[in-house]
């Protein structure tokens, strides 16, 4: 904690106003009954943050950021007793029933030194004590990995035996490729489809060795050769600008009764001519929110060529999935740490975010970044757990 800022009741914030992003000093919020004041230690810059900065989304929060680990610095009255000052916690950003309680989108997020956590988030069990000691560098991966775990666990319930194709070479695509065999079976053949040659070269240069790598523009016969047999499942982990093209390809190439997960965003009102019975495709993602319903909601569709498929999507995860993600990260930290390509201070992160807002470049010093961790408050290289384990049984649980 920066004592001078705390004494003055102000703190540093990366704030945005249209396409202007800057480091500012703002009043530190006061908390009320049932609320928490947290100090983010390290937070991740994610794909939806990039879309917000590029004005591809109209989320109203002036301060974005929803991934990472924070320390509780003040506890309001009537907060559950297992949440204590000094405890390291993960904030689950997605409320399962209140879309106005979306951290870093509707509510000001974690790219600041102090954040007020409303009572509605606390009451919903969305403040999760860090369950294991974890290298600080891996904290920005907890929430995206939890989303991938949930996606694959839902997929397993409906997926026939056979190959998986992953569209998207960002952080979600790489995480999915890393853990797909863990959740779908070691014999599952995984093909990763990259948007462009730079993404493909990044994966190769950083020794991410999946079963096959392909470029989206070179699919067709290349897909047939790479898969050896027809894919039966697809995970679409793309920015919303690329999702429909990838979905169209998956609908065309998946075998009968194939399963498609729309993990990437979808523009509102989207439709596909190949799925004439399906209305707004974006609504598929709204059926599974915050890890509920526990068994997942799936949409059966038939293509215009009478091929049966199963589609699903989701927004956010349950708090139990965040716990599971920390345990997976702890087991093989060196495998995942390669994905966190840069660690920046708040001032450095503000400059990068301004660059993205102005020109959209996903680069730092000419190098493509994958996951950026923003070190907000001083912390050691290891985040310590301080967990009353008996409370994990009370966390909301998804399928």
Q: Tell whether the model's pLDDT for residue 389 goes beyond 50.
A: no
Q: Tell whether the model's pLDDT for residue 209 goes beyond 90.
A: no
Task: Supply the mean pLDDT for the chain.
Answer: 90
Structural domains of the chain, ranges and CATH numbers in brackets: 3-140+322-394 (3.90.180.10), 143-313 (3.40.50.720)
For the chain, percent of residues with pLDDT exceeding 90:
75
287-335 tens-digit pLDDT: 999 999 989 999 999 999 999 999 999 999 999 999 999 999 999 999 9
DSSP β-bridge partners for residue 185: none
4-63 tens-digit pLDDT: 334 449 999 999 998 899 999 999 999 999 999 999 999 999 999 999 999 988 899 999
Instruction: Read off the pLDDT of each residue in 361-389 and give the average, rounded to a whole number.
Output: 87
Instruction: Read off the pLDDT of each residue in 382-392 and give the average, rounded to a whole number.
Output: 68
Q: Tell whether the model's pLDDT for residue 376 goes beyond 80.
A: yes
CA atoms within a 13 Å half-sphere pointing along the CA-CB vector of 45: 30
Please report which confidence band the pLDDT of residue 398 belongs to, taking 50, 70 and 90 as the band edges: very low
Please report which confidence band the pLDDT of residue 359 belongs to, taking 50, 70 and 90 as the band edges: very high
pLDDT of residue 2: 39
pLDDT of residue 390: 47
Round to whole Å and give the CA distance between 327 and 138: 11
pLDDT of residue 224: 52
Residue 325's nearest CA partner among 44, 120, 36, 40 is: 44
Work out whether strand 67-75 and strand 36-45 pair parallel, antiparallel, or are unpaired. antiparallel
Token pair 């201070």 is found at 345
CA 315 to each of CA 9, 59, 99: distance values in angstroms, whole numbers, following the listed order: 35, 15, 10
Burial state string for 12-32 with b = 16 or more CB within 10 A and e = fewer than 16: bbbbbeeeebebbebebbebe
139-153, 315-329, 372-386: least confidently modelled range: 372-386
Q: Tell whether the model's pLDDT for residue 102 goes beyond 70.
A: yes
Q: Is the pTM of this model over 0.85?
A: yes
218-261 tens-digit pLDDT: 665 455 545 556 889 999 999 888 999 999 999 988 999 999 99
């Amino acid at each position: 904690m920066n004592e001078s800022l705390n004494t003055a009741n102000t703190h540093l914030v990366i704030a945005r106003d249209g396409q202007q992003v800057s480091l500012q000093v703002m009043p530190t919020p006061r908390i009320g009954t049932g609320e928490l004041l947290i100090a983010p230690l390290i937070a991740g810059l994610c794909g939806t943050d990039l879309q917000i900065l590029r004005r591809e989304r109209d989320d109203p929060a002036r301060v974005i950021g929803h991934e990472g680990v924070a320390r509780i610095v003040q506890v309001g009255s009537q907060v559950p007793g297992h949440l204590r000052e000094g405890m390291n916690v993960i904030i689950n950003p997605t409320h399962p029933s209140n879309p106005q309680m979306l951290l870093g989108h509707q509510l000001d997020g974690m790219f600041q030194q102090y954040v007020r956590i409303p009572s509605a988030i606390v009451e919903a069990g969305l403040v999760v004590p860090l369950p294991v000691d974890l290298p600080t560098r891996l904290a920005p991966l907890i929430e995206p990995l939890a989303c991938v775990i949930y996606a694959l666990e839902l997929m397993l319930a409906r997926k026939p035996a056979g190959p998986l194709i992953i569209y998207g070479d960002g952080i979600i695509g790489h995480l999915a490729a890393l853990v797909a065999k863990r959740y779908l079976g070691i014999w599952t053949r995984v093909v990763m489809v990259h948007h462009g040659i730079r993404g493909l070269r990044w994966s190769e240069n950083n020794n991410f060795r999946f079963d096959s790598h392909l470029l989206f523009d070179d699919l067709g016969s290349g897909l047939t050769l790479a898969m050896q047999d027809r894919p039966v499942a697809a995970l679409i982990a793309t920015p919303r600008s690329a999702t429909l093209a990838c979905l169209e390809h998956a609908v065309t190439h998946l075998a009968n009764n194939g399963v498609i997960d729309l993990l990437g965003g979808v523009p509102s009102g989207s439709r596909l001519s190949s799925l004439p019975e399906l209305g707004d495709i974006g609504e598929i993602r709204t059926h599974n929110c915050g890890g509920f319903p526990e068994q997942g909601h799936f949409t059966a569709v038939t293509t215009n060529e009478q091929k049966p498929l199963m589609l699903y999507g989701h927004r956010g995860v349950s708090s139990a999935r965040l716990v599971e993600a920390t345990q997976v990260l702890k087991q093989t930290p060196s495998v995942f740490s390669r994905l966190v390509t840069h660690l920046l201070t708040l001032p450095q992160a503000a400059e990068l975010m301004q660059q993205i807002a102005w020109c959209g470049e996903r680069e730092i010093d000419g190098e493509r970044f994958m996951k950026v961790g923003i070190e907000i408050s001083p912390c050691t290289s290891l985040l310590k757990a301080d967990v009353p384990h008996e409370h994990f049984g009370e966390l909301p649980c998804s399928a």
